[in-house]
Amino acid sequence: MTQKEALYRDYGPPGRWGLNFLHDVIKCTAIYYFLIYCIFLPIIQTRKISFRVILPKLGQLILFATVLTTYEFYWTFVIKGGAASMYDYAFWEVSIGLLMLLISLIVSIFIELRARSVRLQESEKGKLMAELSAIKYQINPHFLFNCLNFIYTKSVRHNAEVAHAVNLLSEIMRYALEQNDDKEGMVLLAAEMEHLKNVIEINQMRFNHNLKIRFSEKIDNLNMRIPPLVLITLVENAFKHGDLNDEHNPLDIKIEVDREKLWFYTQNKKKKSVKELSSGIGLANVRQRLQLVYGPRHHFQTMEDEQYYVAELTINP
- The whole-number pLDDT of residue 299 equals 95
CA distance 227 to 17: 55
* Cβ contacts of 50 within 8 Å, gap of 6 or more: 260
Q: Which residue has the higher pLDDT, 84 or 29?
A: 29
- Smallest CA-to-CA distance from 295 within 264, 280, 311, 317 is with 317
**27-31, 161-165, 292-296: which has the highest mean pLDDT?**
27-31
Q: Is the pLDDT of residue 157 over 70?
A: yes
Q: Is the pLDDT of residue 166 over 70?
A: yes
Q: Which residue has the higher pLDDT, 173 or 184?
A: 173
The 3-state DSSP composition of the chain as helix, strand, coil percent (nearest 5) reads 65, 15, 25
**136-140, 256-260, 272-276, 298-302: which has the highest mean pLDDT?**
298-302
Q: Would you place residue 302 in the very low, low, confident or very high pLDDT band (cuts 50, 70, 90)? A: very high
Q: Which residue has the higher pLDDT, 67 or 21?
A: 67
- The whole-number pLDDT of residue 34 equals 92
- The whole-number pLDDT of residue 259 equals 85
- The whole-number pLDDT of residue 280 equals 47
CA distance 180 to 186: 8
Task: Please check whether residue 231 is in contact with residue 198, taking contact to mean a CB–CB distance below 8 angstroms.
Answer: no
Kindly report the number of other CB atoms within 10 A of residue 128's CB atom: 10
Is the pTM higher than 0.75? The answer reads no
Q: Would you place residue 154 in the very low, low, confident or very high pLDDT band (cuts 50, 70, 90)? A: confident
Q: Is the pLDDT of residue 184 over 80?
A: no
Q: Which residue has the higher pLDDT, 312 or 135?
A: 312
- Smallest CA-to-CA distance from 55 within 42, 68, 74 is with 42
Q: Cα–chain-centroid distance for residue 237?
A: 20
Q: Would you place residue 147 in the very low, low, confident or very high pLDDT band (cuts 50, 70, 90)? A: confident
CATH 3.40.50.20, domain 210-317, yes or no: no
Can you name the residues that pair with 313 across neighbouring β-strands?
264, 300
Tens digit of pLDDT for each residue in 236-257? 999 988 999 998 999 999 999 9
**139-143, 169-173, 280-284: which has the highest mean pLDDT?**
169-173
**DSSP 3-state of 46:** coil
Q: Is the pLDDT of residue 68 over 80?
A: yes
Q: Is the pLDDT of residue 194 over 90?
A: yes
Q: Is the pLDDT of residue 47 over 80?
A: no
Region 131-141: what's the mean pLDDT? Answer: 55
Tens digit of pLDDT for each residue in 269-296? 998 765 554 444 578 888 888 888 888 8
- Smallest CA-to-CA distance from 228 within 170, 302, 174 is with 174
Q: Which residue has the higher pLDDT, 293 or 156?
A: 293
Task: Please check whether residue 219 is in contact with residue 255, taking contact to mean a CB–CB distance below 8 angstroms.
Answer: yes
Q: Which of 54-68, 114-128, 155-169 has the lowest mean pLDDT?
A: 114-128
> What's the full length of the chain, in residues?
317
- The whole-number pLDDT of residue 33 equals 92
- The whole-number pLDDT of residue 278 equals 46
- The whole-number pLDDT of residue 10 equals 58
CA distance 210 to 153: 27
CA distance 317 to 315: 6
CA distance 71 to 306: 51
Q: How is the chain split into domains, by residue range? A: 4-118, 210-317
**43-57, 92-106, 183-197, 207-221: which has the highest mean pLDDT?**
207-221
Tens digit of pLDDT for each residue in 7-28? 555 555 666 667 777 878 898 9
